[in-house]
């Protein structure tokens, strides 16, 4: 018997080698892909970190100063995460160097303050806190700091 071949048919070995070559092209190892992804993420992270460190103007610096002062005042007046009005006198040491500070605590229609009356142009920061009004009486309130130089 003679073997006939149809036109357009390729031997099986040729088909397998063509598929294998095509499968190897346009692929990279997973390690190379992971390294490339890490490089992109690291670059974006460094860029974002550099931008955060840039202070654009004095108002940005003052806002950060007020926010930092608020964090320090919060730590001074709270006990177990609840602000205690009698602790307001402890905020005297949290004022930044060369700045004056006024701290105000409000809750249940009452207001407690510590510090001199601020001028019209101050930088303020505030946060919601629980305020102890007595044993077992905690009400929602607000702690505000006003900072000026």
Confidence of residue 10 (pLDDT cuts 50, 70, 90): low
Are 81 and 143 part of one and the same domain? Answer: yes
> Range of 139's domain?
58-148
The share of the chain scoring above pLDDT 90, in percent, equals 44
Are 91 and 48 part of one and the same domain? Answer: no
Confidence of residue 128 (pLDDT cuts 50, 70, 90): very high
Q: Quick check: 56 and 102 in contact, CB under 8 A?
A: no
Q: Is residue 4 part of a domain?
A: no
Task: For 24-56, write each residue's pLDDT tens digit.
Answer: 566 778 888 889 899 999 999 888 877 776 655
């Amino acid at each position: 018997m003679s073997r006939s071949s149809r036109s357009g048919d390729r031997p099986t070995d040729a088909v397998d080698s063509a598929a294998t070559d095509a499968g190897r092209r346009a692929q990279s190892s997973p390690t190379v892909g992971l390294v490339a992804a890490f490089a992109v993420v690291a670059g974006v992270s460094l860029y974002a970190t550099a931008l955060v460190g840039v202070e654009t103007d004095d108002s940005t610096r003052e806002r950060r100063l007020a926010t930092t002062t608020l964090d320090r005042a919060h730590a001074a007046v709270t006990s177990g995460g609840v602000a205690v009005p009698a602790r307001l006198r402890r905020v005297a040491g949290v004022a930044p160097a060369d700045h004056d500070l006024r701290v105000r605590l409000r809750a249940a229609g009452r207001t407690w303050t510590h510090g001199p009356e601020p001028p019209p142009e101050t930088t303020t920061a505030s946060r919601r806190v629980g305020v102890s009004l007595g044993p077992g009486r905690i009400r929602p309130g607000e702690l505000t700091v006003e900072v000026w130089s």
